[in-house]
Amino acid sequence: MSTGRVGSRPRVDVADLVRVRARNPGAVAEAAARRRRRPLLNDNGRLMIVAADHPARGALGVGDRALAMANRADLLERLCLALSRPGVDGVLATADILDDLLLLGALEHKVVMGSMNRGGLQGAAFELDDRFTGHRPEDIDRLGFDAGKLLLRLDYTDPGSLATLESAARAVDAMAERRLPVFVEPFISRRTPEGALVNDLSAEAVTRAIAIASGLGGSSAYTWLKVPVTENPDDMAEVMQTSTLPAVLLGGDIGDSPGEQAAAHERWRGALRLPTVRGLVAGRSLLYPADGDVAAAVDTAVRLL
């Protein structure tokens, strides 16, 4: 199965996908077994990954569009277009999306990263309880995927963060046992007086988060970091001295105006020059740019590498 194409935009036949899923669920495993793999890093030593694991956490909004990511065919078409652009190394997503991409043949010679913990639903009272409801290490290994990613948000005032920290450490152990890279995305988080969860992007908080994440588990040999750019981009050089683990930047929300986007790109450009930073993982800002031009947004990000 593969995507059709109208102009430069792929077209996904949802009826065809559903027919295969209903009649031959084993087709997913067959597609995974046939998939042509590649090393995590190519000769340039850099990574450009498109992220699409937001929906499984109930995070469907982009800017003022609350359900922008809710149309699965549209999301898959955007992903297929992004993955087809030169310089894009792979994708980070949950099983439902990766299974669709496998059936569509869109993951050939791409890095495939399984999203591991999506239990901290956006806006929920239990949002900080980031349980492992996605890919398990054995799933990533069985399907021949190339890496996993876990989210680690820690609130010093929430005793439940200790359980999150311990489960993340055991996931790091299980991935290292299988010699599979795991990308840890750490934050120091807190609740506002209104109850909203926010991540602290001050230099001190990001430094502490990196230090904590780097020490997880019995081996750091297969651990990577996925880190945000700090509130003050000038702090990044000192912050990234906290660990020798290889890191990729978290793209995050870059705004809708050309000025906001240009400023975000400059923040990325500066951080990408640091010795431990090996690439960029970005999602909504590339898949749902304000002007609708996915290819141009992706190409701009690739050039920053």
CA 137 to chain CA mean position, Å? 16
69 pLDDT above the threshold of 80: yes
5 pLDDT above the threshold of 70: no
If you average pLDDT over residues 275-299, what whole number do you get? 94
- pLDDT at residue number 257: 74
If you average pLDDT over residues 38-64, what whole number do you get? 94
**Cα distance between residue 6 and residue 4, in whole Å:** 7
- pLDDT at residue number 1: 62
Higher-scoring residue by pLDDT: 54, 252:
54
Q: What is the pLDDT of residues 85-128, one digit of tens each?
A: 999 999 999 999 999 999 999 999 999 999 999 999 999 999 99
- pLDDT at residue number 206: 98
**Cα distance between residue 167 and residue 285, in whole Å:** 30
Give the DSSP H/E element, type plus range, for residue 238. Answer: helix 236-239
Using pLDDT thresholds of 50, 70 and 90, give the confidence band for residue 3.
Answer: low
- pLDDT at residue number 262: 85
**Cα distance between residue 50 and residue 63, in whole Å:** 18
Pairing type for strands 247-250 and 277-282 reads: parallel
If you average pLDDT over residues 52-79, what whole number do you get? 93
Question: If we measure between CA atoms, which residue out of 234, 228, 210 comes closest to residue 285?
Answer: 228
Q: What is the pLDDT of residues 219-275, one digit of tens each?
A: 999 999 999 999 999 999 999 999 999 999 998 777 667 777 888 889 999 999 999
For residue 167, what are the CA distances in angstroms to 12, 197, 246, 281? 37, 21, 22, 23
Q: What is the pLDDT of residues 133-147, one digit of tens each?
A: 999 999 999 999 999
Q: What is the CATH number of domain 30-304?
A: 3.20.20.70
Using pLDDT thresholds of 50, 70 and 90, give the confidence band for residue 6.
Answer: very low
66 pLDDT above the threshold of 60: yes
- pLDDT at residue number 107: 98
Question: If we measure between CA atoms, which residue out of 161, 239, 237, 248 comes closest to residue 204?
Answer: 239
- pLDDT at residue number 253: 75
If you average pLDDT over residues 35-43, what whole number do you get? 96
